[in-house]
Structure 1
Amino acid sequence: MPDTSPSLLASRPVIPRPLQVVPGEENGLALTAATRVSADPEARGTLVWLQRELGAATGLPFSSGDEDSEIRLSVDPSAGLGREGYRLIVDDEGAIVIGNDPAGVFYGAQTLRQLLPAAAHRDAPIGDTDWTLPAVGVTDAPRFGWRGLMLDTARHFVPKREVLRYIDLLALHKLNVLHLHLSDDQGWRVEIRRYPKLTEKASWRTRSQLGNPRPGEEPVFEERPHGGFYTQDDIREIVAHAAARHITVIPEIDVPGHSQAAIHAHPELGEVGEIPVGQRWGIFDEVLAVTDEVLEFYRNVIDELLELFPSEYFHVGGDECPKTQWKGSGSAQRRIREEGLADEDELQSWFIRQLDDHLTARGRRLVGWDEILEGGLAPGATVMSWRGEEGGVAAAKAGHDVVMSPTATSYLDYRQSESDDEPIKVGTLLRVEDVYLAEPVPEGLSEEEAAHVLGAQVNVWTEHIDTPRRLDYMVFPRLSAFAEKVWSAGERDYAEFEPRLLHHLTRLDAAGVEYRPMDGPRPWHTRPGVHGWG
């Protein structure tokens, strides 16, 4: 267990748990209208953020000062803190945040804010509040370099303002990857100027399946159009907002399955001609053709997106791709013969490798769901292991980088209790404690193999999440538990974590997050009569 003071964490608990916390002997630092903030050039971004966020919550000006300022921010790679690490020291004369890098300074400032009352997470002052930082010394650094959330914007569109809000919430929890699922059967969510039909035709559907049918029953539909997409300027804003908070935004365009929306806009991409944008949830036979023209189309899409997303990684999906249409397709069978492939599994692998080559030539790295292992893995590909841990284990043993995201412990659309009051229960039971206690690194890996585990992420699929309020309910507080799991080193004890989480909920209250209460849903959270699955 890290060296952490239980008494201090009980009164001002920090989530995720820091590596080391040492209480000071002084009275702490009172923040007043005279409190000044300074930063060296590399920490300037955090200074601006801190002035804006704490200034709004406290009503204090936090004027910029010099080296005599009460709050000082600096970057010092020689401090021995490790990547994204920081040291925070508070006494009655001031507060110092030293980061190994600019990200470390930012995370130190997030900890500083958590040491203040929960009202520090509001957008305006609410009255008399004692804005005193306790005297303390904190030394901290993350366990993993990939600490992510996948947000499915394809099944139900998530408006830009909500994406920006979630970036702030990720930053609060020291998470650093936002994976945006931008295309699927049910919608295409990003502007591609070369192919305007993708947003003119594929960004909306005429109706949406409501819940899942009971055995023997037909699906029920909400007879209302649903749609939306991000303009390229929207994406630039999202990426910039995230970068200022040291979060990388990774785009996903799902191929060669889950492509009904794209095929609707461009029937020449598919095997059977014109089809509607998907209205139902599930896995469908419609897949992309494997012609040169289809590959060129997606290379062009990727090239436009690479200009918008500077991330090292580009996600190509690769999951749940039925092979039925390829088995009966003349062009697919011809491709198998011409390329000397064994079967349709190798055909999918060949398709993915073409995109991997394209990304590699542009200095980027391909990441995909673990089905990209089937038929042979592209040389530079990173595997996101979702069908349990097996895919991640196989990839790590083969020398490939891995992000762990197994469904049983990582799918935040899964049910949170067995109560009938839970809204549209799907999947298996995934409680806060289940998320918290699950170990990201699979057993049985050698030290060298385990080093290929870049980290982990949780996924939020939105078939049954159609409003921001429902999104908050499904994500929180489980995301808070996940954040500690991927940031904090050492053993995890849920009995120790739960009281800190209960205090942390007051911060989420102040930030306006409509999380699921620990004792279950409130009446307005329920979805009477809407059936799930699992």
Structure 2
Amino acid sequence: MDLIPAPRTVEGPWRCAFLFDTNTKLAAAPGTEGVARWLRSTIGTALGRELPPGTVGADKTLTLRVDPSLASEEYRLSVTEGVEIRGGSAAGVFWGAQTFRQLLGADAFRRSCVNPDAVRGITQQVIRDRPRFGWRGLMLDVSRHFMPKDGVLRHLDLLAAHKLNVFHFHLTDDQGWRIEIERHPKLTEVGAWRARTKRGHRDSPLWDETPHGGYYTHDDIREIVAYAAERHITVVPEIEIPGHSQAVIAAYPELGNTDVVDTAALTVWDTWGINPNILAPTEEVLRFYEDVFEEVLGLFPSTFIHVGGDEAPKDQWKASPAAQARIKELGLADEDELQSWFIRHFDRWLADRGRRLIGWDEILEGGLAPGATVSSWRGYEGGIAAAEAGHDVVMCPHTQVYLDYRQADGDDEPVPIAYVRTLEDVYRFEPVPPQLSTEAAAHVIGVQANVWTEVMENQARVDYQTFPRLAAFAEVAWSDLPASAERDYADFDRRMGSHYARLDALGVDYRAPGGPLPWQQRPGVIGRPIEGAPPNV
């Protein structure tokens, strides 16, 4: 069995029982119609099978059913003379269909049929499976380097193929604002474009002098959200506050700390790192971002809305008479509490509209907003503190699952960033710290890998950094594996032999096991390698 992620239980396989050929029919019981459409448009097209409607439970038929006795994302895939996929909901049926796709071989991952006469046989077996975590996420940063809409849709297909169900969409940062806001058009007229781009790490002397930018219209966002929903993926948007805001201040200078900075002279940032320009703590800024979030809520139905909150330097607030007067007026102790005031405002604002705030673990500083969920990125500590305080946590420690980090220490590794994190390192990531009590551990609602794109200028570079490590992460997120030290990496590595063929069929420009291919290298482009790496939890 070369399935990735590994299922919980497999009975069999025994003998060849089901032939997927031109006589195969598809029967969709109520509630599974969307999965049936996906099967016909992807697997049917890839293997040259029309999959006409059939009778539920008949031989030579692929039957889809919703079974309320199963958990929502749980499925049972049974192969006899026919195939039956039962799921606790349409999502469970869909994940079972993804497993069925893998059983049919790598050609099932192509966009068109290359061998219409091939006979696809599946041996008799029963697979029972359900995910370990409800939040199995990938964050994609499109602010540093914009990914056109078609690339985003392709990325959603790759997430679905790995049974990941949350797409964290990092839409705003110092280097670009990527979502149309009709009430504030300068956000995209000005904030979506920069004159040039640093090539490599911020210490690199190299520049790409080509202007860079782009943004998604409302209809683009609606299409992305709908496409994701068809694949049972939730899109969680991120709008950064109060730091990482130079692009918005370049568009609307009055939102910055005008008493200490000539904000009218700022442009969209063209390099990387922690930017000193931070939003002013004014009512005007709150109203502006309420406008922004009103439009965001109208486009994204997700319960969670990410507000960033990370890497917000307080130097401008310390120097600003207006910010200091605001601290005194609000009865706050310091600048950390002023940031907490920012976050708490939008925690209440979102809660009043039936949504939940999530932010990076810096939102703990100055006091955590009552309803907030924490994305724990600076190691495990923030997640541990939040979980012990009764807050939900998504574990995404940079030391383990930042996929912009380098995959080997060789000189040929393109633009080496930070620690070495190999395929095996990611496979041995354990999201739940052992020191958490059972009650606190229950607040770890999920896991997420993060793809920051400072040194990923195009789709091929995103592919290279993300894959094959995302396959290892997907197994950590989905499969109920033993402790990290006991996981059978040799078996996973063996199964990857089949999975590389699937990635090839999908057109993924992944890092090969032997290292970067000549066209994947970036000689002379400076990175930021760091020796050693913190251990797993």
Structure 1 segment 13-412 matched on structure 2, within 5 A: 13-69=2-58, 70-78=61-69, 81-91=70-80, 93-127=81-115, 128-212=117-201, 214=203, 219-271=205-257, 272=261, 273-274=263-264, 275-412=266-403
Retained in 2: the 8 A contact 1:415–1:430? yes
Shift of 1:443: 2.1
Retained in 1: the 8 A contact 2:57–2:84? no
Helix, strand or coil for the counterpart of 1:243? helix
Q: Give the match for residue 479 of structure 1.
A: 470
Structure 1 distance, partners of 2:514, 2:229, is: 36
The counterpart of 2:494, out of the listed 496, 499, 502, is 499
Shift of 1:36: 0.7
The counterpart of 2:447, out of the listed 445, 448, 456, is 456
Could you tell me which amino acid in structure 2 is paired with residue 52 of structure 1? S
Helix, strand or coil for the counterpart of 1:41? coil
Q: Number of aligned pairs?
A: 517
Retained in 1: the 8 A contact 2:417–2:527? yes
Query: Structure 1-normalised TM-score?
Result: 0.96
Retained in 2: the 8 A contact 1:346–1:375? yes
Retained in 1: the 8 A contact 2:29–2:56? no
Could you tell me which amino acid in structure 1 is paired with residue 423 of structure 2? V
Q: Give the match for residue 437 of structure 1.
A: 428
Structure 1 distance, partners of 2:119, 2:413, is: 39
Could you tell me which amino acid in structure 1 is paired with residue 360 of structure 2? W
Distance 1:249 1:295, change over 3 A: same
Retained in 2: the 8 A contact 1:88–1:139? yes
Report runs of 4+ in structure 1 exceeding 4 Å deviation.
Answer: none
Structure 1 gaps of 5+ residues are 1-8
Retained in 2: the 8 A contact 1:417–1:431? yes
Structure 2 distance, partners of 1:309, 1:266, is: 24
Structure 2 distance, partners of 1:24, 1:351, is: 57
Structure 2 distance, partners of 1:297, 1:482, is: 38
Per-residue CA deviations over 1:349-387 (Å, capped at 9, x if unaligned) read 001111111100000000000000000000000000000
Query: Structure 2-normalised TM-score?
Result: 0.95
Retained in 2: the 8 A contact 1:115–1:134? no
Per-residue CA deviations over 1:215-268 (Å, capped at 9, x if unaligned) read xxx743211100000001000000000001100000001110100000000001
Structure 1 distance, partners of 2:362, 2:14, is: 55
Could you tell me which amino acid in structure 1 is paired with residue 329 of structure 2? E
Structure 2 distance, partners of 1:517, 1:303, is: 44
Q: Give the match for residue 532 of structure 2.
A: none
Q: Is 1:528–2:510 an aligned residue pair?
A: no
Structure 2 distance, partners of 1:66, 1:236, is: 35
Helix, strand or coil for the counterpart of 2:167? strand
Could you tell me which amino acid in structure 1 is paired with residue 85 of structure 2? V
Structure 1 distance, partners of 2:46, 2:398, is: 38
Structure 2 distance, partners of 1:319, 1:124, is: 44
Shift of 1:130: 2.5
Retained in 1: the 8 A contact 2:190–2:250? yes
Structure 1 distance, partners of 2:55, 2:345, is: 54
Could you tell me which amino acid in structure 2 is paired with residue 429 of structure 1? V
Retained in 2: the 8 A contact 1:213–1:220? no
Helix, strand or coil for the counterpart of 2:417? coil
Helix, strand or coil for the counterpart of 2:92? helix
Structure 2 gaps of 5+ residues are 530-537
Structure 1 distance, partners of 2:472, 2:526, is: 28
Q: Give the match for residue 533 of structure 2.
A: none
Retained in 1: the 8 A contact 2:202–2:273? no
Structure 2 distance, partners of 1:138, 1:112, is: 10
Structure 2 distance, partners of 1:147, 1:98, is: 21
Retained in 1: the 8 A contact 2:206–2:525? no
Retained in 2: the 8 A contact 1:22–1:137? yes
Per-residue CA deviations over 1:439-494 (Å, capped at 9, x if unaligned) read 00012100000000001000000000011111110000000000000100132211
Helix, strand or coil for the counterpart of 2:284? helix
Could you tell me which amino acid in structure 2 is paired with residue 517 of structure 1? A
Superposition CA RMSD, Å: 1.0
Structure 2 distance, partners of 1:376, 1:166, is: 36
Structure 1 distance, partners of 2:481, 2:144, is: 37
Retained in 2: the 8 A contact 1:209–1:279? yes
Helix, strand or coil for the counterpart of 1:133? strand
Helix, strand or coil for the counterpart of 1:63? coil
Could you tell me which amino acid in structure 2 is paired with residue 267 of structure 1? P
Shift of 1:213: 5.3
Structure 1 distance, partners of 2:76, 2:413, is: 42
Helix, strand or coil for the counterpart of 2:418? coil
